């Protein structure tokens, strides 16, 4: 099967999955009631939620600066822009293409190796997952909700802890990865082995921030703040729809969304997001129509603002490029 055929098959499969999940989420709802719920949403709380989301992206940008400091000293604006553009592309293209686009953007504007940027971004995602699972381990057992997670959560935490430890070890001793690649490269031939060795050295360089305990603690702290901002955003969305739920409700919603969306299927997680948000709130005892309203509102608040900001920033780049070209 050709690459183009596989992509077409993935797109068709994603559309089918989205359609099925949207049907399961909204088939039995009263659309009139759902629309009335959305129309009555408190705009001031939604505006505040957007500000919290921007604060979360700013924290993520600061964390990225720590990760990428050994590679290049990026400005906070450039890192913020890379994050927003990455989210925009992920919202429009399936399979988290925004992550790779972000790596390419940073490599291009920083004039650094893409392999090093890829390692730093991969380490960010790993740390995100680890901190999120850690927060769930601390918070979820205290909630009066029986979630179908069980030992999976603790196994995931253990695997993430091992992965971060290995990444930190490689960041402190990059020569070990290079030596391993060199030993493996002998089996692949001189040319391919040399290529693998060179790429492994660049990849290990991208992990070097984790070799510092001070930097590691800083990025863990910033990651925790980022996820707490996400919890605050969900809380504000719930309040905007008049859902005064127990304090742990936003954590339950975040647990469903984050763990369920770990494997991307469609652009912007259409269908998947709605199904998971609906399932989370109905688990908490919320009526179907209210849960459906939240699913629509939460999805829109998750993708529309970042996509619009990304488009504006991208148009700014295009305008600047044209102006520079005409001046020269």
- Cβ-contact 129, 160 below 8 angstroms: yes
Distance between CA atoms of residues 87 and 72, nearest Å: 22
Distance between CA atoms of residues 73 and 45, nearest Å: 36
Q: From residue 189, give the alpha-carbon distance in Å to each of 115, 184, 193, 198.
A: 21, 10, 6, 14
Distance between CA atoms of residues 45 and 41, nearest Å: 8
- Asked whether residue 195 carries a pLDDT value surpassing 80, the answer given is no
- Cβ-contact 64, 290 below 8 angstroms: no
Task: Find all residues with CB under 8 Å of 204, minimum gap 6, and list them.
Answer: 119, 170, 171, 174, 175, 177, 178
Quickly tell me which residue has 């290990």 as its tokens.
204
**What average pLDDT is seen over the chain?**
82
Distance between CA atoms of residues 126 and 27, nearest Å: 36
Distance between CA atoms of residues 55 and 164, nearest Å: 26
Three-state DSSP at 180 gives helix
Percentage of the chain exceeding pLDDT 90? 29
Distance between CA atoms of residues 275 and 165, nearest Å: 35
Task: Kindly report whether the global pTM for this prediction surpasses the value 0.75.
Answer: yes
Per-residue pLDDT, 1: 61
CA angle 102, 307, 72 (to 5 degrees): 25
DSSP 287: -
| pLDDT tens-digit map of 110-148 | 888 888 888 888 888 888 888 888 888 777 766 656 665
């Amino acid at each position: 099967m050709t690459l183009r055929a596989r992509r077409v098959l993935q797109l068709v499969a994603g559309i089918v999955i989205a359609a099925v999940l949207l049907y399961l989420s909204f088939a039995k709802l009263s659309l009139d009631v759902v629309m009335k719920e959305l129309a009555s949403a408190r705009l001031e709380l939604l505006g505040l939620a957007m500000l919290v989301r921007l604060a979360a992206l700013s924290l993520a940008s600061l964390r990225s600066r720590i990760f990428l400091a050994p590679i290049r000293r990026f400005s906070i604006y450039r890192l913020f822009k890379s994050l927003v553009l990455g989210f925009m592309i992920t919202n429009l293209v399936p399979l988290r293409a925004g992550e790779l686009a972000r790596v390419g953007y940073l490599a291009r504007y920083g004039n650094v190796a893409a392999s090093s940027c890829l390692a730093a971004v991969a380490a960010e995602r790993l740390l995100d997952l680890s901190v999120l699972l850690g927060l769930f381990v601390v918070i979820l057992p205290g909630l009066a909700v029986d979630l179908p997670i069980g030992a999976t959560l603790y196994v995931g935490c253990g695997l993430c802890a091992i992965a971060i430890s290995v990444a930190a070890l490689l960041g402190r001793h990059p020569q070990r990865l290079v030596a391993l690649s060199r030993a493996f490269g002998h089996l692949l031939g001189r040319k391919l082995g040399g290529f693998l060795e060179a790429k492994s050295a660049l990849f290990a360089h991208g992990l070097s921030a984790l070799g510092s305990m001070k930097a590691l603690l800083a990025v863990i702290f910033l990651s925790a703040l980022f996820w707490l901002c996400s919890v605050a955003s969900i809380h504000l969305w719930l309040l905007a729809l008049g859902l005064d739920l127990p304090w742990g409700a936003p954590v339950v919603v975040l647990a469903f969304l984050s763990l369920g969306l770990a494997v991307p299927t469609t652009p912007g997680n259409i269908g998947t997001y709605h199904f998971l948000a609906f399932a989370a709130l109905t688990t908490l005892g919320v009526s179907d129509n209210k849960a459906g309203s939240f699913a629509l509102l939460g999805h829109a608040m998750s993708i529309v603002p970042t996509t619009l900001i990304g488009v504006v920033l991208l148009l700014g780049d295009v305008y600047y490029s044209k102006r520079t070209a005409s001046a020269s």
